[in-house]
Structure 1
């Protein structure tokens, strides 16, 4: 398989390399096994020191890492820089809490002779996407490393330079050779790697189809996994919402990373009594975002990462319009070089249209009108996805009543959804299972062992 990077703003090829052959995979697995055997014996304080060094290295290399992400997948440079800095914050977070997260515990009510310890599993395979080529890798790797594991990460084919650069940063921070490695293998090889007895768990961020395939391989090998998959997040705008806030927050969420984020709002479910006013304000905010050269710090929306992604998005929009959706803004690819698609707002969207039923991975917002909050909850839950949701209302009491009714992994009220180091992150239904981040992200890849000392 060819791992090839193309500049999404121009379509020009930047780099290419072949995937690993069987001998290279074997060397990588052997090195990880050797490194993990020593790493598992290190104290939490020693692991924390390397995490702090990693945070410093990420900050030092932030300009280069951000420029590479922008070149390979088109992320606006200001957002790429923020991604690297957020990754450094995550490292500091876990370094500060290493001892507490790995300390033995006595569960409430447990006998005095018993306690629970958290030991490493071994080597974790991380199958990573292209849309956050630094954050996703760090988010997956750091908790697993803190737990005492080795990490092998398979990057997406279109961001090989970012993968190599992140690996160099880990090495510069002082992580032992073999403990954190890139594994350039094609998707078809993942099941074979996962079946190897030297690999003990898997984490995957990507499409639902990819997640199902890797989860099946993990189940066949009886290995645990964490899967953060697709999403078609609902943003529910109720009759008492602050419409300016809902419109501004919604536009920011929908256009973050040029709309290429699993966790950001895609379906805007709006009560009819405020529909027209929300549409007016929302379209104005979406239209005001600056589209252009992703290397320009003023750019807010860049190109899509690949030509096939733009073609798929255009087909989804066109099909939705044929089925009755109305275009309020955009609705087509932008002319000229690169893989740009115009910020788009569709309204009158309903079940049976791709804009309602599928994940729109690009700068397209779908507005679904509803009668009241009861119908809003039904429409929000009528999705095969269940990653997260946002809810706009001035009433905290109403929000608290509705939150338990939403079948998702997170609900943000009057704000946009994002992952943070302190809180668990993951979804339900076809958005995956398991949780990253917080204490949950560490213990997902720990052997939670009961010890009884009589």
Structure 2
């Protein structure tokens, strides 16, 4: 009996779509086809590869209305936000813009006696395992630069967003990228691990849970296959005494609640200077109370269901445990909260780091807020986490923000903003958030290997 993957729509719990997985023989054939096609792809001029990727992005841009509706069905984001094409295009276009410079030879010497230089070569076949929460943008982070750099790419998308991989393949193939060079595949965990452990791939990029990242590293153990991971987060925000409270509330609560809190770099804990604490909490509660929970296909909905009932169950459990331990919940249950995927967004105070809601990844619309007396206490609490993706500081003092940032165990430091990915900067993390370098010039370096030439001419 053929095993299938089922996308359960959070809108109503129905099966939105179902796809059969490849067995091991078919998966091996897909990898072999990718490997056979990669050399010719890499031999094409860089400008040609860039143009084809740009054309594929334009193909995706022709179907943005469809994208928004399909994402609402698959993972619950309200259609009012219009899909993901803006960020998708920004990231792919930036990587296309910098490709020639990022991949240029590093010439050490070019004289009559010697040529010494370092070139960048594609790894070969790259596996991209993409998550469901921002399924177009997270996939393109690696797909675009990997193809531009001359790699063949095999994309395995999350079960919750099976259709996204298909749509990307359609667009890239329509633009002229050869079908064997960019493939979307449906694989189960065992086949994926088996392929990695047999050295089927030359580079693996995984975005997902800590448990999933550990499985990828175990599969690659001993193969020397590079594995880049972007895993869990528990990103903090800090509101200093000199901050603009209204701007801090708007920025941090958007970071905490947008996409029903299902953001890799979403804000999950907030530390506010004691002089601003009461005002911040009051304004944050008022903002969240004004949100409209509901069917993501309806324009008035501002916060949709979580992508899966089990994700919502974890958030509810964290909230209930915290309240039982003395936390104060400020948002009364919304009428639309069905006890399943539709979850009331929540603000908790009187929280501490003994509570799971302040330690474990929530990945949902809940945030704990604590008062702090000074920068030292804020830094200590911000670093008191096994994760390290981003940290946001709200202040009028850029010099102090940079000084605080230097002491934070994180991949990105924001000032007066949160929950944003700048494609010109390296997207990376530390601790249990994983390791790797996405986007920016370093993203191209991660997706290629250096090759040195030392040519003696006499």
- For normalisation by structure 1, the TM-score amounts to 0.95
- State the 1:106 CA deviation: 2.9
Q: Using the alignment, how far apart are the partners of 2:195 and 2:276 within structure 1?
A: 53
Deviation per residue, 1:337-369 (Å, 9 max, x gap): 961111110011111101111011111111122
- State the 1:162 CA deviation: 2.0
Q: Using the alignment, how far apart are the partners of 2:290 and 2:108 within structure 1?
A: 53
Aligned residue in 1 for 2:91: 90
Q: Using the alignment, how far apart are the partners of 2:315 and 2:268 within structure 1?
A: 13
- State the 1:296 CA deviation: 2.6
Aligned residue in 1 for 2:279: 277
Aligned partner of residue 40 in structure 1, secondary structure: helix
- State the 1:21 CA deviation: 1.1
Which of 144, 147, 155 aligns to 2:146? It is 144
Aligned partner of residue 281 in structure 1, secondary structure: helix
Which of 231, 234, 238 aligns to 1:232? It is 234
Aligned partner of residue 125 in structure 1, secondary structure: strand
Aligned residue in 2 for 1:126: 128
Deviation per residue, 1:102-154 (Å, 9 max, x gap): 1101369x996321100011001111111112111111211111111111111
Aligned residue in 1 for 2:218: 216
Q: Using the alignment, how far apart are the partners of 2:29 and 2:175 within structure 1?
A: 22
Deviation per residue, 1:343-401 (Å, 9 max, x gap): 11001111110111101111111112222210100000010000010001122232122
> Quick check: 158-167 or 248-257, which moved more?
158-167
- State the 1:332 CA deviation: 8.0
Q: Within 5 Å, give how 1:165-180 maps onto structure 2.
A: 165-180=167-182
Aligned residue in 2 for 1:101: 102
Q: Is the 8 A contact 1:124 1:200 kept in 2?
A: yes
Which of 61, 64, 75 aligns to 1:62? It is 64
Say yes or no: does 1:260 pair with 2:259.
Answer: no
Q: Using the alignment, how far apart are the partners of 2:292 and 2:333 within structure 1?
A: 16
Q: Using the alignment, how far apart are the partners of 1:132 and 1:430 within structure 2?
A: 20
Q: Using the alignment, how far apart are the partners of 1:88 and 1:375 within structure 2?
A: 40
Aligned partner of residue 272 in structure 2, secondary structure: strand
Aligned residue in 1 for 2:324: 322
Q: Using the alignment, how far apart are the partners of 1:58 and 1:42 within structure 2?
A: 23
Aligned partner of residue 346 in structure 1, secondary structure: strand
Distance change >3 Å, CA 359–CA 80, structure 1 → 2: farther
- State the 1:294 CA deviation: 1.1
Aligned residue in 2 for 1:201: 203
Q: Using the alignment, how far apart are the partners of 1:336 and 1:317 within structure 2?
A: 16
Aligned partner of residue 127 in structure 1, secondary structure: strand
Distance change >3 Å, CA 91–CA 277, structure 1 → 2: same
Aligned residue in 2 for 1:423: 425
> Quick check: 184-193 or 288-297, which moved more?
288-297
Aligned partner of residue 276 in structure 2, secondary structure: helix
Aligned partner of residue 452 in structure 1, secondary structure: strand
Distance change >3 Å, CA 337–CA 178, structure 1 → 2: farther
Aligned partner of residue 160 in structure 2, secondary structure: coil
Q: Is the 8 A contact 1:333 1:341 kept in 2?
A: no
Segments of structure 2 that go 5 or more residues without pairing to the other structure are none
Aligned partner of residue 181 in structure 1, secondary structure: strand
Query: Post-superposition, which runs of at least 4 consecutive aligned residues in structure 1 deviate over 6 A?
Result: none
Aligned partner of residue 113 in structure 1, secondary structure: strand
Q: Within 5 Å, give how 1:304-319 maps onto structure 2.
A: 304-319=306-321
Q: Within 5 Å, give how 1:369-380 maps onto structure 2.
A: 369-380=371-382
Q: Is the 8 A contact 1:9 1:337 kept in 2?
A: no
Distance change >3 Å, CA 332–CA 385, structure 1 → 2: farther
Aligned residue in 2 for 1:244: 246
Q: Is the 8 A contact 2:34 2:125 kept in 1?
A: yes
Q: Using the alignment, how far apart are the partners of 1:107 and 1:286 within structure 2?
A: 57
Which of 360, 366, 370 aligns to 1:358? It is 360
Segments of structure 1 that go 5 or more residues without pairing to the other structure are none
> Quick check: 196-205 or 89-98, which moved more?
89-98
Say yes or no: does 1:162 pair with 2:156.
Answer: no
Q: Using the alignment, how far apart are the partners of 1:26 and 1:332 within structure 2?
A: 49
Q: Using the alignment, how far apart are the partners of 2:331 and 2:311 within structure 1?
A: 20
Deviation per residue, 1:178-203 (Å, 9 max, x gap): 11112211123222111233411100
Q: Using the alignment, how far apart are the partners of 1:306 and 1:23 within structure 2?
A: 31
- State the 1:331 CA deviation: 6.3
Aligned residue in 1 for 2:437: 435
Q: Is the 8 A contact 1:147 1:443 kept in 2?
A: no
Which of 369, 387, 390 aligns to 1:388? It is 390
Aligned residue in 2 for 1:40: 42
- State the 1:334 CA deviation: 4.4
